[in-house]
Chain A
Amino acid sequence: MKRLVAVALGILTAIGGFVDIGDLVTNAVVGARFGMSLAWVVVVGVVGICLFAQMSGRVAAVSGRATFEVIRERLGPRAGGANLIASFAVTVLTLTAEIGGIALALQLASSVEPRLWIPFAGLAVWLVLWRVKFSVLENVTGLLGLTLVVFAVALAQLGPDWGALVDEAVRPSIPAQEPAPTYWYYAVALFGAAMTPYEVFFFSSGAREERWTTKDLATSRANVLVGFPLGGVLSLAIAGCAAVVLLPRQIDVTSLSQITLPVALAGGKLALALAILGIVAATFGAALETALSTGYTLAQFFGWSWGKFHRPAEAARFHTAMGVAVLVGTLVLLTNVDPIAMTEYSVVFSAVALPLTYLPILLVANDRQYMGEHVNGRFTNALGLVYLVVILAASLAAIPLMIASGAGQ
């Protein structure tokens, strides 16, 4: 019974923790502009993150090593160092966007300008990281993030033409008024939003935080293979709400407030309150995860003591690194940079940095010295190789598409 509760809790937190500011913004932008014609990218991204999160969790549980410990061992200090710089930069960019997302969500609840919320959001993230246990911070934000299911409920209540929505999703085409580079730019952005590197760092390091062993592999698989796809359904619901309400009105999404309007139309104030609560929880949870990932990547690469299972005094450099990352993100936001624009850039640069994270995981997951009998099976390897090609293509195309489309203008 206890195990069943643990599995259920893991699945629920995976669903609620799947959506972050990148998924919220990118899915809404895409839904309002392209309808459901980019839904296939969400499916591709969800399958990809399931594949690599499951592999990284298995590597951590079997080898006792988290992602960056493996990257340093497998690639050596020079290549691993280059990997660290790129992954760390993208993770800090994502952390900055998440803290901005918290401030924007609190503005919705209070009408207080985001710049006034930013320092409090940064401080709250740091305090929770310092004082709250790993299991509590993961479970509370994940469970509260489940209120984002209100987007799926709202979509049903809006009474859309389901046939047209499904047809658009399964027979995608580039709208006549949109240039092809813009369509493919947003495809890369959506892919990057679904497969952000910090998710893998967090998942594998979390496996070490919770002392997973081979006995926990089934739980890990359930969390990933059930939780993440259901989280992907939430992403599609956000896009669907935008497609049904904002697209016909020719509203381009440029702010977080616009994303909540379809929910208000469908379900009124109660639904809106749940959406705001869900957005605060999702962005706060993601800020915690990205901040932890900054600490994990640095500490694992340099061999520092790391993990929330140590007291802060026993992992001082780990906690200092996270504190500095949160401070940097907060200070950048206080320069009045637009958090939505920052979010859009973070998902595209996540796509650029993806190969650096996934190639080492794929290599180690096939290495019998680390994995013993738990190496990848043939199906996993075949899928892994297909995804490596997709990831490389997205990574190489991201910057040219950004230039060609004027960052999606």
Chain B
Amino acid sequence: MPSPRRARPARATAAWAAVAVVGGCALGPGSADGYEARTLTDPVDEAASAVATGTLVVELAVRDRAFATVADTALLDAIGDAGGAQSTLAADVPRDPPLVAARHEAVVAVAQAVAALADARAWVNRTADRDAAEVLDALSSAADALDAAVARAERA
């Protein structure tokens, strides 16, 4: 049986650890409804960030200000981010009908973003049958669709 004197530091450490965890949890978001909307808007924002990155990369490539390796890597990373957002949305099952409709719009918008980024990467690697203007248009349309999806999720 451990002596009381030896048990005190271990008990104190355990108490502090519990305070740290509870303290962190206590500061977190509390509203269930707000949380549901955020489960839609967070991945859409992530996809929007990826599309914005893709747009910047294509603009740099058009102006010959970036190596093909950097452009390719940045677009691959952006595709990874948008793909991650797609997986998150696909796994989400909202309860309220307005959120269900918002989720469907978000899934479609993120899929459009993934396709636009993939086409941009193909263009950077000179394997696409599109030109720079078409690629930028596709990215712009994807960005608009994502904005609309966020607006709908926030209204839901």
Contact = CB atoms under 8 A, between A and B. Distances in A.
Interface in B1-31: 20-21, 23-28
Interface string A236-277: 000000000100011110110110110011001100110010
A404 interface: yes
A243 to B, nearest CB: 15
B151 interface: no
Contacts of B49: 250-252, 254
A254 B65 contact: no
B53 interface: yes
Given A269-B66, A272-B66, A249 B77 contact: no
A404 B72 CA distance: 35
Contacts of A404: 23-28
Contact of A403 (B28, B57, B73, B80): B28
Nearest to B23: A400
How many chain A residues sit at the interface, stated as a range, is 20 to 34
Contacts, number: 97
A109 B69 contact: yes
Contact of A264 (B27, B42, B60): B60
B70 A396 contact: no
B119 interface: no
Interface in B85-127: none
Nearest to B28: A404
A181 B30 CA distance: 14
Interface string A319-349: 0000000000000000000000000000000
Contacts of A396: 20
Contact of A258 (B48, B53, B69, B72): B53
Contacts of A255: 73-74, 77-78, 80-81
Contacts of B57: 261
B52 interface: yes
A108 B52 CA distance: 19
Contacts of A251: 49, 52-53, 56
Contact of B53 (A261, A265, A276, A399): A261
B129 interface: no
B66 A264 contact: yes
A353 interface: no
A402 B27 CA distance: 11
Interface of B: 20-21, 23-28, 42, 45-46, 48-49, 52-53, 55-57, 60, 64-70, 72-74, 77-78, 80-81
30 contacts: A108-B69, A108-B70, A108-B73, A111-B73, A181-B27, A249-B55, A250-B45, A250-B49, A251-B56, A252-B45, A254-B77, A255-B78, A257-B70, A258-B53, A264-B60, A264-B65, A264-B66, A268-B64, A268-B65, A269-B64, A269-B65, A269-B67, A272-B65, A272-B67, A273-B67, A399-B20, A400-B21, A403-B21, A404-B23, A404-B27
Given A111-B69, A269-B64, 17 more contacts: A108-B69, A109-B69, A249-B52, A251-B49, A252-B46, A255-B80, A255-B81, A257-B77, A258-B74, A261-B57, A264-B70, A265-B60, A268-B65, A272-B66, A272-B70, A396-B20, A403-B25
